[in-house]
Chain A
Amino acid sequence: MGGLTVNTKLLRQILVGFVRDEVYKVGVRKGVLGLSGGIDSALVAYIAAEALGPENVHAYCMPYRTSNPESEAHARLVAESLGINFKVIEITPMIDAYFNVIPDADNMRRGNKMARERMTILYDHSAAVGGLVLGTSNKTELLLGYGTLHGDMASALNPIGDIYKSQVWALSEAMGVPSEVIEKKPSADLWAGQTDEQELGFTYREADELLYRMVDQRMSREELIAVGFDAAFIDNVARKVQGSHFKRRLPIIAKVSNRTIDRDFRYARDWGK
């Protein structure tokens, strides 16, 4: 499908330049990221290594005791092929300590807690090494709200947040991400055998085709139906996008003064940079 096919050479140039420019602007030279073994964080590691130099990229693999061992193996494979700094930090003790006190939490709460635990570790290490936390959520996940607020959705800057999962696949291939990482089924690795697509109820390719037309091309529901999308699928995805919108916004502030942060006290984040 035309619109989702990208010139990977140009995309790579823009994203590498983005990471270099926005990291250096802050006055640091390093990037910190979580390497899950999945394709999104692998791609960000490739972009960061090219932008900052592999010696300036610090990657952390943070497994829980139920995590698939293959995830850590793939994270290590990515780190070794790039020559970036790599460390494994088990989150089992912190997570278990918490849920020993709160034993009735369901899978979703456990998964969210793990995601947030990992992000606190990344921010702690960003202070330790003097680098910025690089985000690894792609546009598909961000639009569907398929991520944890203040967990994997947090970051100082995100190079892949405006590219769809299909484009992540294409760019990963162009940048040389190992094929076993590209080809495996996307999974948040929350429990054994879990896959994103099974949990979502549709494939990323299907979602991307729809989201691209809905969001980027602003096609109406009628137009989407006319080009062949199923009405129930459109409504399901549209509901997810709308329902997760709060995750994509800053917390709202009750306005009482004349100049309220973000509403009428407005500066770019790169103010003075």
Chain B
Amino acid sequence: MDFTVALAQIKPKLGCLDDNMALAEAAIEKGIAAGADLVVFPELALTGYFLKDLVPEVALRLDSPQIEKLKKLSERISIAIGFVEVSADFRFFNSAVYLEDGEIRHVHRKVYLPTYGLFDEQRYMARGERFRAFDTRFGRIGMLICEDMWHLSAPYILAMDGAMTLICLSSSPGRGVTESEGLGSAAAWQKLTTTTAMFLNCRVFYCNRVGYEDGINFWGGSEAIAPSGEMTDRGALLEEDFVLAKVDGGALRRERIFSPMMRDENLAITVKELKRIDREKDC
């Protein structure tokens, strides 16, 4: 099926749920008006990124009015969006929710919470425990949140779980201004998104935010990657943008005929060897 994905490269305000809801709703309406079928937002789109002690204050339950509102909007367009989720036992997660036809189809809780360099996530948030693909009207999808994608096993698991589309919601800080043309962190990500798509013969929709928080810039550059690993659409660097990418549904089928790596992938060997490694690790 051919469809259009919109990558809403927005600039959330730190800790301002209402303002960010308004931003999200505006982008959703824009997507609907433009004929998009799916709109993807960045990581923590409803809250901003360097939340620190704000985490509990901006957290939403899955039955909160905000999520209900997004559910309603998803009757008109499918939505993937990042927010802080609070569980019934008061754990706080860096989560992404996928909404379609008025329902929550999936919630992914970020597994790999970075705590090195400028990152401080696990100090404030609890870790997700699973990677699961889920069914949508665009076929099976897997969601990742930023750092998740840097762990080779994460997209691999999702692909083995049948995902043919990977959605990565991101708040990637710009760093590494060198003599080269682009930004260090952007160049690394571009390598990562295209390589992941190529290895797994999956489409990749990468949505990264923009703006500044305490002087740290988020570089944008959201991307749609074809299952061949070819980048088809890219958002502006360092500026708000709204990327509309037309997805050629047949390209995935053709790619999987040309390069049947996923077909040939041997899950049994992988599981066997991983189990052995795990067993021998403590020896």
B16 at the interface (CB under 8 A from A): yes
- Which residues on B sit within 8 Å (CB–CB) of A269? 214
A7 at the interface (CB under 8 A from B): yes
- Which residues on A sit within 8 Å (CB–CB) of B214? 268-270
Q: Interface range on chain A: under 10, 10 to 19, 20 to 34, or 35 or more?
A: 20 to 34
- Which residues on B sit within 8 Å (CB–CB) of A270? 14, 50, 212-214
Binary CB contact string for chain A from 256 to 267 against chain B (1 if under 8 A, 0 otherwise):
000000000111
Q: When the two chains form their complex, are residues B14 and A14 in contact, meaning their CB atoms are under 8 A apart?
A: no
When C-beta atoms are compared, the residue in chain B nearest to A9 turns out to be B181
A10 at the interface (CB under 8 A from B): yes
- Which residues on B sit within 8 Å (CB–CB) of A268? 14, 50-52, 213-214
Which stretch (B159-167, B172-180, B266-274) binds chain A?
B172-180
Q: When the two chains form their complex, are residues B180 and A272 in contact, meaning their CB atoms are under 8 A apart?
A: no
Q: A22-B212, A272-B15 are in contact. Are A14 and B53 (CB under 8 A)?
A: no
Cross-chain contact of B215 among A3, A5, A18 (Cβ < 8 A): A18
A21 at the interface (CB under 8 A from B): yes
The CA-CA distance from A159 to B111 in the complex, in Å, is 34
Instruction: Specify which of B14, B53, B181, B215 lies most central, judged by the most chain A CB atoms within 10 Å of its CB.
Output: B215
Q: A271-B14, A272-B14 are in contact. Are A22 and B215 (CB under 8 A)?
A: yes
A273 at the interface (CB under 8 A from B): yes
Binary CB contact string for chain B from 242 to 266 against chain A (1 if under 8 A, 0 otherwise):
0000000000000000000000000
Instruction: For residue A265, give the distance in angstroms from its CB to the closest CB of chain B.
Output: 7
A151 at the interface (CB under 8 A from B): no
Instruction: For residue A1, give the distance in angstroms from its CB to the closest CB of chain B.
Output: 10
Interface residues of A in 187-246 (CB under 8 A from B): none
The CA-CA distance from A5 to B214 in the complex, in Å, is 25
B192 at the interface (CB under 8 A from A): no
- Which residues on A sit within 8 Å (CB–CB) of B237? 13
- Which residues on A sit within 8 Å (CB–CB) of B217? 14, 17-18
B182 at the interface (CB under 8 A from A): yes
Instruction: For residue A38, give the distance in angstroms from its CB to the closest CB of chain B.
Output: 23
Cross-chain contact of A6 among B14, B54, B178, B238 (Cβ < 8 A): B178
The CA-CA distance from A269 to B53 in the complex, in Å, is 12
Chain B interface helix/strand/loop/mixed: loop
- Which residues on B sit within 8 Å (CB–CB) of A157? 215
B157 at the interface (CB under 8 A from A): no
The CA-CA distance from A13 to B15 in the complex, in Å, is 26
A11 at the interface (CB under 8 A from B): yes
When C-beta atoms are compared, the residue in chain A nearest to B11 turns out to be A21
A2 at the interface (CB under 8 A from B): yes
Interface residues of A in 4-31 (CB under 8 A from B): 5-7, 10-11, 13-14, 17-18, 21-22
Interface residues of A in 145-178 (CB under 8 A from B): 157
B183 at the interface (CB under 8 A from A): yes
- Which residues on B sit within 8 Å (CB–CB) of A13? 237-238
When C-beta atoms are compared, the residue in chain B nearest to A18 turns out to be B212
- Which residues on A sit within 8 Å (CB–CB) of B238? 13-14, 17
Q: When the two chains form their complex, are residues A273 and B178 in contact, meaning their CB atoms are under 8 A apart?
A: no
The CA-CA distance from A37 to B11 in the complex, in Å, is 37
Q: A7-B177, A7-B181 are in contact. Are A267 and B215 (CB under 8 A)?
A: no
Interface residues of B in 159-218 (CB under 8 A from A): 174, 177-183, 211-215, 217
Closest 7 CB pairs of A and B: A5-B179, A266-B52, A21-B212, A268-B50, A268-B214, A266-B53, A270-B14
User: What is the interface of chain A, defined by CB distance below 8 A to chain B?
Assistant: 2-3, 5-7, 10-11, 13-14, 17-18, 21-22, 157, 265-273
13 extra interface residue pairs, beta carbon distance < 8 Å, beyond A6-B179, A268-B50, A270-B214 = A2-B179, A7-B178, A7-B181, A7-B182, A11-B177, A14-B217, A18-B212, A18-B217, A21-B212, A267-B52, A268-B214, A271-B14, A272-B15
| 17 residue pairs A–B, Cβ–Cβ below 8 Å | A7-B179, A10-B181, A13-B238, A14-B217, A14-B238, A21-B212, A157-B215, A266-B53, A267-B52, A268-B51, A270-B50, A271-B14, A271-B15, A271-B54, A272-B15, A272-B16, A273-B13
